[in-house]
Chains A and B, each alone.
Chain A
Amino acid sequence: MTNHWIDIKNSDCILIMGSNAAENHPVSFKYVNEAMDNGATLISVDPRFTRTSAKADIYAPLRSGSDIAFLGGMIKYILDSKQYSEEYVALYTNAPFIVGKKFGFKDGLFSGFEKTPEGPTMGKYDKGKWAFEMDKNGVPKMDRSLKHKRCVFQLLKKHFGRYDLKTVSAVTGTSEADLQRIYDVYSKTGERGKAGTIMYAMGWTQHTTGTQNIRTMAIIQLLLGNMGVAGGGVNALRGESNVQGSTDHCLLWHIWPGYLKTARASNTSLAAYNNTWTPSSKDPLSANWWQNYPKYSVSMLKSFFGEKAEAANDFGYDWLPKVDDGVGYSWFDLFDAMYKETIKGFFAWGQNPACSGANANKTREALGKLDWMVNVNLFDNETGSFWKGPGMDPGAIKTEVFMLPACASVEKEGSITNSGRWMQWRYRGPKPLGDSLPDGDIILTLGEKIKEVYKDGGAYPEPITNLKWDYATDGAYDPHKVAKEINGYFVKDVTIKDKTFKKGTLVPSFAFLQADGSTSSGNWLYCNSYTEKGNMSARRGQEDAVNNIGLFPEFAWCWPVNRRIIYNRASVDAKGVPWDRKDWVVYFKGEEKDGKYVSRKWLGDIPDGGWYPMQNPDGSWREDAKYPFIMRKHGHAQIFGPGLADGPFPEHYEPLECPVEKNYLNAQMVNPTAAVYSTKADAHATCDPRFPYVATTYRVSEHWQTGLMTRTQSWLMELQPQMFVEISEALAELKGFQNGERVNVISARGKVECSVIITKRFKPFMMGELTVHQVGIPWHYGWRWPSSGKEDSANLLTPSAGDPNTRIPETKAFMVNVVKV
């Protein structure tokens, strides 16, 4: 979330699309209700009428996989009706930037496309073709009047010119009247002082166009001036209490802690690595915060390798693994490699891949090709017991499985970071039961044992033997030591701006981190979370900030540097005066003399850098100001995003499996850069009469993830006892189904038995003249519990295809059939 949970209450219009917050984030509705009490409008857009839709002022259905068309239509509407915030767009976004002549878009392809000879990626772009035009100083050329025919604003207008109501309605199956109404209501948040917010989750991300779904909404939010303001932002509702934290600390393969880049094989030295990933800007008004990259990467290496990390050995850079250039190592790629018997050993830690990943039959088969697997979890699950699961012959499976019981979250101390980026310290409740241990103790011991083994040598022992591993107190894992390590220390006496910091003291914030090896920090983004003042995340202050908008700055701690709403300097105009004078986030209150600001002072939230506003009160431009989007190289929010794999503008493509034989918006069917896997376990079937219905997966309030912690709870099983498929009354009549009867849902990859729920909440879609039926299934079940073994995972059906930027699977839109058992 760019904003945070409480801030939802400040919104004037809440769009819930790509998520079902009422069911999956029940507590969020405390704040949604509060906003509605204050007059906010709630809009729910979902293929199925959900518990969220039940509370909405406006509900509209859309066919799964057509979100870019829906939102693209809104972009066109906002531009045509001139409801965008022109001042904001011209000043803070890259709408004025002039794009080079090599950029083009034709027949659904951007310029620079080439097919890739081998998978999984279908094709790729030469992004150099999308570069901005630079002036003689190396600063992007801009036309702040937004009139230049190659400026981003004009290109955006042209690009989405095709997204008229009629075409969008045919693609999405949403009526033109519903589209018009939602566009109209949401666009009104473009007025000065109004804020609209989006609450989204996996309904947007789990598509072959997942990243661009979110980009499309980000463009809308920028056009309407909704970024940085209270009650605005782009808000990802994370699916577990600590998903945000795990991402921040590099759960994903392509990032190191704090969103540093994983080193590529071609980054042959620390200097090469830092040079490759440190952006440089020639614009004096751009803060280009990532210019500090080497301070963060070196401090991370110092944290990993301690005194062994020295300038002479590149601070141990060579000891960290590198990834091959152009090769993916995502979930899909790992299980693909396991399936192809390249990976021989596997730790399944706090997860249940036999149920949780797309195309679970392939995953289950892949587990059988391992030499060993260690299952670290609260309970045995479908992963640990895969060898005795449906269709398995235990005698033929060689994989040796070890079970390490982990304790539950309430049985250990440590922090979680919630969707709103709040790091919150939690104390231990009961002691762990039986032999179970906190994850920290398991990994600490594992590290110690591995280090012991490597003492006597081995293949390339240095990364292991040099690893700093001093996180125990009295032989047990100490979460405070780790939290301090993440924050970082001065590792020698350092003098910065006349102030000397003693060796061994904690670094106050990332502004003090150094690239010379004098500081350590496990994650620069968390530098400021555990300082000499104490554990900031354990704070429980109940007082609000001066602007009284629910920031509660002394409750827990928030990255970066306790900034509760990021990009907040875009919430003020050029003179530092908030667009919204009532629910303001930051307010410039420096002293003024002769029409000029002469001192700096911001009130409210921690500003995105404390520089002067762009203009003085007399309207003159300042030369010592910085643009508000400080994490972008050029300081401007990106309506044109030339860094993504699949294009600088979003474009509608059909899901890999879809019900229509043509894309109504362009000549390409599927995202031409999508990742699609191709072993014999990766079957796909599009426009195939055997699989005529669109299917989507989702969660219910009553179960949690793959259900490991809820399918074992009788009170929850009483509420949602069985795997089900929801279908419309029209489809039920067509198929002759009785409510509650058992049916099979079948895709090109598998089959799952379900109880059928016939509901008014699904309706057939009209795509122009074509009637399309959609069905929906929850993903919480697995054969291990309940003991009947008949309730299995929705992921037996979902395809191995993913977004080109993230490789997240397309589990929200695929094709199935539903037949009687």
Chain B
Amino acid sequence: MSNAFFIDTTRCTGCRGCQVACKQWHDLPAEKTENRGTFENPPDLSFSTYKLVRMRETETDGKLKWLFFPEQCRHCIEPPCLETAQDESAIFKDEKTGAVIFTANTKNLFADEIIESCPYNIPRKAADGTLAKCDMCNDRVTNGLLPACVKTCPTGTMNFGDRDQMVLLAQQRLALVSKKHNQAQLVDADDVNVIYLVSEAPALYCEFAMASAGTHGLSRHMALRKMASPFWRALRQLA
């Protein structure tokens, strides 16, 4: 049984402690940013930003909402990036924790192909083509510690543990939250190890909150990816 995150956005206050804790643990440099007319910053995930709290203003049913979504890798149960890479020295899964890990060897992959394969648009490349993303703080987790973002969260938004327990917690919270919010749902819960609870339509939080295949679900998207993978492999060998 792998681990999983349960990210309860209904408890998130957008303090962004998780975003900073991620940089601190991974010793990632700050990006030089500007105020672009929003609190959300940096503007996107990057090679040195694995986690980004999306902060979106929306008006639904005449009611203003400010939705916070700590965006990160979903550590898919069947990761399309891994399938696409077909190179365990570059992308592998730690079966014990469920963490999907990118190594320095990702620079030998077709970066754009890997990025394209991700239904959540997560991986980002460096100038030399090396890819990076959330690693579940696998070094912490395998030493009995919580991921940095979970450890720092003051509100109970970020949770981490055995997948069974997280799924149970997610379902309990969904039942409670559904009483107030009829759009409440768990996002792609069967396909990922990072389960989000949202109270509004996922697309309102950020573009890739839900798997891009939308109504088909992640499994179908993955099936298509698998069918296409020999083609990608051939292409890479050619290169």
Which among A25-33, A105-113, A233-241, A283-291 touches the partner chain? Answer: A25-33
Residue among B19, B35, B155 making CB contact with A721, cutoff 8 Å: B35
B30 pairs with A54, CB closer than 8 A: no
Contacts A718-B41, A718-B42, A721-B41 known; A33 to B33 CB distance under 8 Å? no
Query: Which chain A residues lie closer than 8 Å to B41 at the CB level?
Result: 718-721
Asked whether A281 is an interface residue with its Cβ less than 8 Å from the other chain, the reply is no
- Nearest-CB distance from B10 to chain A (Å)? 8
- Distance in Å from the Cβ of A173 to the closest Cβ of chain B? 16
- Chain B residue, CB-CB nearest to A32: B155
Residues of B within 8 A of A49 (CB): 64, 66
| A760-B155 contact in complex given A718-B33, A721-B34, C-beta closer than 8 Å | no
Closest approach, in angstroms, between the C-beta of A730 and any C-beta of chain B? Answer: 14
How many B residues face the partner with a CB closer than 8 A?
35
Q: Given A721-B41, A722-B35, A761-B64, answer yes or no on A715-B15 (Cβ-Cβ < 8 Å).
A: no
Q: A273 CB to closest chain B CB, in angstroms? A: 46
Give chain B interface residues in 1-39, CB to chain A under 8 Å. 11, 13-17, 19-20, 23-24, 29-39
Q: B19, B24, B30: which has the most chain A beta carbons within 10 Å?
A: B30
Residues from chain B with a CB closer than 8 A to the CB of A738 are 37
Q: Which chain A positions have C-beta within 8 A of B36? A: 739-740, 755
Provide the residues of chain A in CB contact with B67, threshold 8 Å. 54
User: In the complex, which residues 169-189 of chain B have their Cβ closer than 8 Å to any Cβ of chain A?
Assistant: 176, 180
A59–B62 Cα gap in the complex (Å)?
13
Are B16 and A719 in touch, CB under 8 angstroms?
A: yes
CA distance A26 to B42 in the complex (A): 21
B230 within 8 A of A: no
User: Are B30 and A720 in contact (CB-based, < 8 A)?
Assistant: no
- Let me know if B65 is at the binding interface, CB within 8 A: yes
A761→B57 contact, CB < 8 A: yes
B154 beta carbon closer than 8 Å to chain A: yes
Chain A residues with CB under 8 Å of B161's CB are none
Cα(A700)–Cα(B39), bound, Å = 10
Interface centre among A27, A54, A722, A741 (most CB of B within 10 A): A54
How many residues on the A side are at the interface (Cβ–Cβ under 8 A)? Answer: 40
Interface residues of A in 696-737 (CB under 8 A from B): 700-702, 714-722, 724
Contact of B57 among A30, A715, A719, A759 (CB under 8 A): A759
Decide if B17 touches A26 in the complex (CB within 8 Å).
yes
Closest Cβ of chain B to A698, distance in Å, is 13
| Distance in angstroms between the alpha carbons of A758 and B68 in the assembled complex | 18
State whether B31 touches A30 (Cβ < 8 A): no
Instruction: Identify which of A721, A741, A756 gathers the most chain B CB atoms within 10 Å of its CB.
Output: A721
With an 8 A cutoff between CB atoms, is B59 at the interface?
Answer: yes
Chain A: which residue is nearest B53 at the CB level? Answer: A719
Is B129 on the interface with A (CB-CB < 8 A)?
no
Q: Is B30 in contact with A755, judged by CB distance below 8 angstroms?
A: no
Nearest chain B CB to A476 CB, angstrom units? 32
Q: A720 near B39 (CB under 8 angstroms)?
A: yes
Residues from chain A with a CB closer than 8 A to the CB of B30 are 714-715, 717-718
Instruction: Indicate if the CB atoms of B31 and A51 lie closer than 8 Å.
Output: no
CB distance from A713 to the nearest CB of B (A): 8
Shortest A707–chain B CB gap in Å is 14
Closest to B13 in A: A22
Contact B154 A54 (CB under 8 A): no
Cα–Cα, bound, A720→B55 (Å): 13
Closest to A34 in B: B156
Interface SS majority for chain A: mixed
A154 to chain B, nearest CB (A): 41
- CB pair B35–A757 under 8 Å, yes or no, is yes
Verify A760–B16 contact, CB threshold 8 A. Answer: no
Beta-carbon contacts under 8 Å, A52-100 to B: 52-55, 57, 59
Assess the B156–A30 pair: CB atoms within 8 A: yes
Q: Is A37 an interface residue (CB 8 A)?
A: yes
User: Chain A 748-759 against B: per-residue CB contact (8 Å), 1 yes, 0 no?
Assistant: 000000011111
B213 → chain A closest CB, angstroms: 30
Task: Establish whether residues B13 and A51, one from each chain, have CB atoms under 8 Å apart when the complex forms.
Answer: yes
Please report the C-alpha to C-alpha distance between residue A51 and residue B56 in the assembled complex, in whole angstroms.
Answer: 11
Asked if A23 is at the interface of the complex by the 8 Å CB criterion, the answer is: yes
How would residues 114 to 137 of chain B score, 1 for a CB under 8 Å from any chain A CB and 0 otherwise?
000000000000000000000000
Cross-chain contact of A26 among B23, B24, B33, B155 (Cβ < 8 A): B155
Are B34 and A54 in contact (CB-based, < 8 A)? no
- Can you identify 26 A-B contacts, CB atoms within 8 angstroms? A22-B15, A26-B17, A26-B154, A30-B155, A30-B156, A37-B176, A52-B13, A54-B14, A700-B39, A714-B29, A714-B30, A715-B20, A715-B24, A715-B30, A716-B20, A717-B30, A718-B31, A719-B19, A719-B20, A720-B39, A721-B34, A721-B41, A724-B35, A738-B37, A740-B35, A761-B64
Using CB atoms and an 8 Å cutoff, list the residues of chain B in contact with chain A.
Answer: 11, 13-17, 19-20, 23-24, 29-39, 41-42, 57, 59, 64-68, 154-156, 176, 180
Q: A719-B33, A738-B37, A755-B34 are in contact. List 20 more A-B contacts (CB 8 A).
A: A22-B14, A23-B13, A23-B15, A26-B15, A26-B154, A29-B154, A30-B154, A49-B64, A52-B13, A54-B68, A57-B180, A717-B30, A718-B32, A718-B41, A719-B41, A721-B34, A721-B35, A722-B34, A755-B35, A758-B37
Residues of A within 8 A of B (CB): 22-23, 26-27, 29-30, 33, 37, 49, 51-55, 57, 59, 700-702, 714-722, 724, 738-741, 755-761
5 closest A-B pairs by CB: A739-B37, A714-B30, A740-B37, A755-B35, A54-B66
